[in-house]
Amino acid sequence: MGNVILTGFMGCGKTSVGLKLSYRLRRTVIDTDREIEREEKRTISDIFAADGESYFRDRETVCLRKLIESAGNQIISVGGGLPLREENRRLLHELGQVFYLRATGETIYARLKGDTTRPLLQGEDPQSKIETLLRERDPFYREAADVVIEVDGKSFEEILSEIEEKVTEA
């Protein structure tokens, strides 16, 4: 399929890295969250509030299946929870080369504190929620990934160069 796929926890930089990478590699960029919002004509927060997380997770799988039909040679950033489903990890591998942008809880908390657009991090103690989810999810992100990129303390330039060096999908 020749796609470059960016995964990782919320706030790890998938969307920004995806945009910058699209200029560097001259490929278009797609974001599964934005695709789902466009198709559903409502925000992720509204989808979670009205229909719940499992409805959203089904939409993610449908979105991946559609991308397998249509996307080639693109950069695809995917929602932070998408690689948790076994089927989705298999679909990701079918879709292209998967990069896991790995950040620590500290970095993520610093970037996302005050954010109101991630339903899973609303509530009392987002910092410990981040740590718990990260610990649970890291093995799945690793399993889904062809390449792990540690992003903590690195500039965009460093991250982009590392990805570019490792891209094998033509």
Interface residues with ligand S3P (CB under 6 A) are: 10, 14, 33, 44, 79-81, 118-120
Residues making up the chain, counted from first to last:
170
Residue closer to ligand S3P by CB (options 10, 159) is 10
Shortest distance (Å) from residue 41 CB to ligand S3P: 17
Shortest distance (Å) from residue 82 CB to ligand S3P: 7
Shortest distance (Å) from residue 77 CB to ligand S3P: 7
Round to whole Å and give the CA distance between 70 and 132.
35
Contacts of 59 (CB under 8 A, 6+ apart): 36, 39, 40, 47
Looking at the chain, list the stretches that DSSP marks H as alpha helix, in order from N- to C-terminal side.
14-25, 32-40, 44-51, 53-70, 86-95, 105-112, 126-144, 156-166
Round to whole Å and give the CA distance between 10 and 98.
16
Shortest distance (Å) from residue 165 CB to ligand S3P: 24
